[in-house]
Amino acid sequence: MAELQFFTGTMDSGKSTLALQTNHNHAARGRLGRIFTAHDRAGEATLSSRLGLTLQAIEVPDDFDFWKYVVTQLTAGARIDYLICDEAQFYAPEQIDQLAKIVDELQIDVFAFGILTDFRCQLFPGSSRLVELADRMQVLQVEALCWCGKRATHNARTENGIMVTEGEVVVVGDVWTPPQQTSTTSRSPTRCSAASTTVAGSPLPAPRRCRSRPSRCPSAEGSKGRFGRLEGAGWSPLRRVRPRGSGSASRRA
């Protein structure tokens, strides 16, 4: 029985690489499929991986009709066994409904790949609909890392090294590069859940700057942490105790 499968993870977790591998595995067994993508970093009508692999694909604009396309192809005598749908977070909810209909009525497997939330920690409409309709949803096991070294669970956006929470939702770009290595480009780093609440406008720390800071991601000086406390105001970046002169006595042996 055909299934609608949704593979998700943060940026840089290998979704497009898995999409390419999935297509290879099915094609190697004689199955014929179609590959779709939207707003790929390599350009229009291209499915690309950060490992350097690329494959020609069909670009999905806002008014693309998956059901009409597949039915037209089958009526013309083409064979379609599966669909690879990368960057599925950019698809409209109506397009996800069309993919589900293809699975249920035409018994064609659909493999969708995409991120769940944008840099504002809000669900993409396409991803939200996939969560509701998918027969199976799998979180990728390849762990992308936050700038502090912890497992990344959210996506962020930076401009000139400053994390922002406002702006256009769709900005085609790549993953984060340390601020000292960039000029005026916009980047999309991954982050842990603690860093996801860093105050907008705070400069990002260097990677793994304060790995021993207690239970939260190292945030910028003076920014609010996960529990709303002011970080950088008396917390030592290297020890789990307040430094001398911070207003609290150190415990002596």
Give catalytic residues, as residue numbers. 87
- 138 phi and psi angles, rounded to 5 deg: -125, 130
User: Position of tokens 């105050």?
Assistant: 199
Among 121, 201, 130, CA closest to 169: 121
145 close to 14: Cβ distance less than 8 angstroms: no
CA distance 190 to 155: 5
**How far is residue 16's CA from residue 19's CA, in Å, rounded to a whole number?**
5
CA 251 – CA 178 distance, rounded (Å) = 37
Buried b (16+ CB within 10 A) or exposed e, 43-76: eeebbbbeeeeebebbebeeebebbebbeeeeee
d(C-alpha 15, C-alpha 50), whole Å: 10
Token pair in block for residue 34? 């179609």
Q: Cα separation of 106 and 102, whole Å?
A: 5
